[in-house]
Chains A and B, each alone.
Chain A
């Protein structure tokens, strides 16, 4: 190939080394991808095998039995997770979507940049710190743990996810749609709610799904906000059990039947979280292709 070189022998050796290095490094990159996927497959299979054996219809309908007594389910934790995640979404979704509209309308304004930066930074605050914050903010003044405190801490955790995903999806809506609406005489906010939001509806839904997936799996902040409750409770003012927090308690317990229930809970949680994640990503790709934008 490189006949121009003066000493072809030396050069071909040099080229051989370059090509070998190239080959080795590229193969290593492929190998690391395989290594990265191994834990996922391992976790998935392990949880499915262990969890499927312990999962039954009773899991969703019956209350926990004392350790050692067979049967029973975790209906209280299922209900508790639905309640706390529900509170989280109800608080975080409107604020998040409105904030995303602000970010959309102020792409270059300094305050918009500050908010965008703050959102990204807050997304990185550990959930346990969020839990302590909610504890000092709600549990300490009230004097007791509560489902409400658990829901609020989930709202804090969900907010940055909703803001950033929604903004990305709103940005995908062609500007001509908004301009068309404004040109017809619609005001800014009617264009936002009647034109842009419906056009980006799937995208907004995606943000909510990712936020729910994240919130449904949080155990750390629930330890000192929702606290946990072995009984059925639907009151916002009482401590409440959630699925991830139940896994934590049952997993480190010495009882075999509790551990089996924890595997079943892990399976339920993983199926929920994975389907929300996969579905949302499929929607994002589909939207991006449909709107012909450069988003990947």
Chain B
């Protein structure tokens, strides 16, 4: 009865008052809509994991944990699938990438955040970040036609010549190789590492620097003994973010790694990564088990990169504080 009365009363109100009432109720609707939009992001993340899990069932049931350690990837004859060659390839290329990108990336961050004046650090920072904007396929194309013939191949040959007694530099020398992929990845993750660690340095209170300099420390001593320890977890986060990017990078790696299933200790040998096997064979997967095996590779990649990113973000957040602007990767 109360309800009826209310409706009657409302209909007797003027149009403008009713509109005003609607606007107020609109607030509730607005709140609901923006919460749903925000929740969609979490739904998206969950749905990715769910779909990959469901659609890799045949492979998970058939091979279990041995999928991770088996070196046999034989879709043509025995229909046996083991992802070890790709896991190894991914680890080796990512390691090479970190080896080069971490010191250079930190150097860039230190230069941009601590040394260069604003008029210089701003355009330079933009240039370095533009490296992140170059499409992956352009990196691969350039790698194939310019980077490998002019730099990687000569480098590989001299490494093989002088250090060929080491298993990791054994020949024969090919153009496309794990080294080529690792070096391209180094260039690709450099902007991630330098941009995030630059923001970490900038988030450190200026009093830390002043105190250290006032005590007579040089600028390098201030950086290495005060700022780096202070921002250590954030810098670690930057490196892990870079690693996460290296693990999942696909097209550029597919174009320069040579796509070879051999397990070799040599970085000069062509290889395969988890991402590149998916890019190369997914549309050729003619039967369900094959398809599911490839999706399981994607599942592993998803879980690993998810874990990496969670750790990295938590580490970066710890330094820059939750309300401050966090670095974009």
Contacts and interface: CB of A to CB of B under 8 A. Distances in A.
Interface stretch (B1-9, B46-54, B69-77, B264-272): B46-54
Contacts of B103: 32
A220 to B, nearest CB: 4
A213 B44 CA distance: 22
Given A125-B302, A217-B135, A33 B37 contact: no
Interface string A214-243: 001111100110010000000000000000
A126 B308 contact: no
B109 to A, nearest CB: 8
Name the residue in A94, A102, A129 with the highest tally of chain B Cβ atoms < 10 Å from its Cβ: A129
Interface residues of A, number: 100
A98 interface: yes
Interface stretch (A59-67, A195-203, A267-275): A267-275
Interface stretch (A69-77, A82-90, A160-168, A173-181): A160-168
A49 B144 CA distance: 16
B154 interface: no
B115 interface: yes
Contacts of B144: 251-252
A129 B305 contact: yes
B48 A37 contact: no
Contacts of B251: 219-220, 244, 248
Contact of A102 (B37, B282, B328): B37
A42 B112 CA distance: 21
B52 A133 contact: yes
B37 A98 contact: yes
A251 B255 contact: yes
Contacts, number: 284
A98 B115 CA distance: 40
Nearest to B298: A132
A18 B48 contact: no
Interface in A7-45: 18-19, 21-22, 25-26, 28-33, 35-37, 39-40, 42-43
Contacts of B147: 42
B86 to A, nearest CB: 12
Nearest to A105: B34
Interface in B221-247: 221, 223-224, 241, 244-245, 247
Contact of B111 (A32, A252, A295): A32
Interface stretch (B24-32, B91-99, B155-163, B164-172): B24-32
A26 B133 contact: no
A196 B241 CA distance: 32
A159 B44 contact: yes
Main secondary structure of the interface of B (DSSP, over half): helix
A218 B110 CA distance: 31
B65 interface: no
A137 interface: yes
A105 B31 CA distance: 9
A130 to B, nearest CB: 7
B181 to A, nearest CB: 15
Contacts of A122: 41, 44-45
Interface stretch (B10-18, B120-128, B204-212): B120-128
A218 B138 CA distance: 10
Given A40-B127, A188-B30, A120 B111 contact: no
B38 A115 contact: yes
A159 B44 CA distance: 10
A36 B212 CA distance: 29
B134 A43 contact: yes
B272 to A, nearest CB: 14
B107 A29 contact: yes
B117 to A, nearest CB: 13
B141 interface: yes
A126 B247 contact: yes
Contacts of B312: 124
Interface in A112-135: 112-115, 117-130, 132-133, 135
Nearest to B151: A42
Nearest to B55: A136
A251 B137 contact: yes
B42 interface: yes
A112 B30 CA distance: 16
12 contacts: A26-B220, A37-B124, A115-B41, A121-B310, A123-B329, A129-B298, A164-B328, A187-B23, A188-B31, A269-B135, A277-B129, A281-B126
The 9 closest A-B pairs by CB, nearest first: A126-B248, A217-B135, A32-B107, A189-B30, A98-B37, A124-B309, A22-B218, A102-B34, A220-B250
